Amino acid sequence: MKYLKITILTLVIVSCVPIRVNYDFDKSTDFTKYKTYNYYANMKTGLSDLDTKRFLDALDYKMQARGFSLAKEPDFFIDIKSSEFQTAQRNTVGVGVGGGGRNAGGGVSIGIPLGQSGVNRQITIDFVDENGKGLFWQAVSEATYNPNATPEKREALFNAILDKILVSYPPKQKY
């Protein structure tokens, strides 16, 4: 029942929040050789300690569901970085005053902002093979972020972000 609620909440958040993801990878990588992973010990995620735990728990769950396992001596390491930024206001109302006559004219226009600017969070996930290739896969996501959201909403947002990120891992290579 708990997972049903989380799934429904995730779907609601996904439908309301646009999550944009960009991917990049080394096309010469053999992704089938990667079965185990771990995180860098000195990782600075840019998230709060609680949000970092939520994000890593969600990522562990999704990676294990895809057949990967956490190991002390992994095939690759995961690095996570994030940053928060404000988006510009896009909604304004223009008020104009003008006049003219006898071949002369003038005008004044004022833009009045509506609403408030939004906060977005960019999360970058790097998969790094320290025994050979180095960085071999990267995803950068961007989504609207509410710093005052409840823990349940934050967890659902992280699940939605990770669903969108991991849908393209491993990448389908064209030969």
Per-residue pLDDT of the chain (175 residues; tens, 9 = 90+): 666 565 555 545 444 558 899 999 998 999 999 999 999 998 999 999 999 999 999 999 999 999 999 999 999 999 999 998 776 555 555 555 555 566 655 565 666 555 555 788 999 999 999 988 899 999 999 998 888 889 999 999 999 999 999 998 888 766 5
Q: pTM above 0.95?
A: no
CATH of 2-87+113-166, one of 3.30.2130.30, 3.40.50.410, 3.30.160.670, 2.60.40.10: 3.30.160.670
Cα–Cα dist 8/108, whole Å: 50
Cα–Cα dist 152/54, whole Å: 10
CA 41, 51, 87, 123 torsion: positive or negative? positive
